[in-house]
């Protein structure tokens, strides 16, 4: 046994993590193994379903509860960035890091929420769809650049907003994720998007690109209590997906629509609004689910849309 091995053994026997052991021997401290936080992606290839609104408000509500959150804006439209009050700046997106030039740590910025950081976006990220297609392991570029950041900084959750498409950026998010939240508008056409997403998640798992990917839940959004249609859609989705559908339902709400124009989350803009209360309830339900084990389910195909 060499001197370094003896020092480590002495430290373990004397319960000394590093520095000087009780007998004066120099001790080599073992590296700290940081627990990987859950990476949760919000995705739906249909636009206008409340995906970015949900990303912003889930992240804000979790941060407000004392959770340390990293929000990642993977959408070149940059709505999650502006919606949380972070100005767009040239070069401040994951684009260069995805191409192997720089790191995510270089562009992470804080927000008004003490516990909420963001990897912002700007329009140059649109070029990644083309440029990454020529790169090695192009579906795993995001997971490769995210890992070093998570090794350096302790977060409780990583919340990723995806573009309304099934392109390379969305696929990168899915291959890095532990789970997916699918926001779904309470309209029948939105069920087509739900079918596509569940089938895609199955393919990502079965292909081996991310065998542990699962649906975290389906969040019904833009619920209009004045119409029978909204209730019918919610009941049909619950009938097919059961407990995967969150009990919290996000209503159509003017205050939710106004908040992003001020760069504010709903709980900042009007905490008493029905939209803010709904997102608080959703965040609570999200945390309760994460307190339970997360086996990867075998997903059934999506419902047939007539």
Residue 272 — left, alpha, or beta (φ > 0 → left; ψ -120 to 50 → alpha)? alpha
CA separation for the pair 218, 244 (Å, rounded):
6
Quick: pLDDT tens for 26-45. Answer: 544 444 456 789 999 999 98
CA separation for the pair 50, 60 (Å, rounded):
15
Return the sign of the alpha-carbon dihedral for residues 92, 98, 104, 108.
positive
Quick: pLDDT tens for 256-281. Answer: 999 999 999 999 999 999 999 999 99
Helix (H) or strand (E) holding 57: helix 51-64
Length of the chain: 306
In the chain, the domains with their CATH numbers are 47-290 (3.40.50.300)
3-state secondary structure of 276: helix
Describe the chain by its helix, strand, coil percentages, rounded to 5: 45, 15, 40
Residue 255 DSSP one-character state = H
Q: Can you read off the two tokens belonging to residue 198?
A: 């569940």
Could you tell me which residue, 231 or 26, shows the higher pLDDT? 231
Helix then strand count (H, E) for the chain reads 12, 10
135 contacts 141 by C-beta, under 8 angstroms = yes
Spell out the residues 6+ positions from residue 175 whose beta carbon is closer than 8 angstroms to its own. 139, 140, 142, 143, 204, 209, 210, 213
Q: Given this model, what pLDDT does residue 111 score?
A: 95
Q: Give the model's confidence band at 216: pLDDT under 50 very low, under 70 low, under 90 confident, else very high.
A: very high
Overall average pLDDT of the 130-148 stretch: 89
DSSP for 118-180? EE---GGGGGHHHHGGGSTTGGGHHHHHHHHHHHHS--SEEEEE--SS-SHHHHHHHHH-SEE
* pLDDT above 80 for 25: no
Q: Can you read off the two tokens belonging to residue 284?
A: 């609570």
CA separation for the pair 128, 125 (Å, rounded):
5
């Amino acid at each position: 046994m060499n001197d370094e091995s003896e020092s480590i053994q002495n430290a373990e026997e004397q319960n000394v993590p590093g520095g000087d052991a009780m007998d004066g021997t120099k001790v080599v401290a073992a590296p700290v193994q940081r627990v990987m936080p859950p990476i949760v992606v919000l995705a739906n290839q249909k636009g206008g379903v409340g995906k970015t609104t949900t990303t912003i408000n889930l992240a804000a509500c979790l941060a407000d509860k004392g959770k340390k959150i990293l929000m990642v804006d993977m959408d070149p439209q940059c709505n999650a960035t502006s919606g949380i009050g972070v100005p767009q700046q040239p070069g401040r997106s994951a684009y260069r890091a995805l191409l192997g030039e720089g790191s995510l740590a270089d562009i992470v910025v804080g927000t008004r929420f003490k516990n909420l950081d963001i990897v912002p976006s700007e329009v140059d990220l649109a070029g990644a769809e083309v440029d990454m297609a020529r790169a090695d392991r192009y579906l795993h570029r995001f997971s490769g650049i995210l890992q070093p950041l998570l090794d350096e900084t302790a977060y409780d959750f990583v919340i990723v907003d995806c573009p309304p498409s099934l392109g390379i950026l969305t696929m990168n998010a899915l291959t890095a994720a532990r789970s997916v939240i699918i926001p779904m508008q309470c309209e029948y056409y939105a069920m087509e998007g739900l079918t596509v997403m569940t089938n895609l998640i199955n393919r990502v798992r079965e292909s081996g690109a991310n065998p542990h990917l699962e649906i975290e839940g389906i969040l019904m959004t833009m619920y209009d209590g004045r119409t029978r249609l909204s209730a019918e859609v919610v009941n049909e989705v619950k009938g097919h997906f059961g407990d995967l559908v969150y009990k919290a339902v996000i209503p159509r709400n003017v205050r939710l629509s106004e908040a992003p124009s001020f760069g504010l989350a709903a709980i900042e803009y009007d905490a008493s609004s029905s939209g803010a209360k709904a997102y608080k309830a959703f965040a609570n339900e999200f945390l309760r689910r994460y307190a339970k084990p997360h086996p990867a389910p075998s997903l059934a195909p999506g419902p047939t849309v007539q």
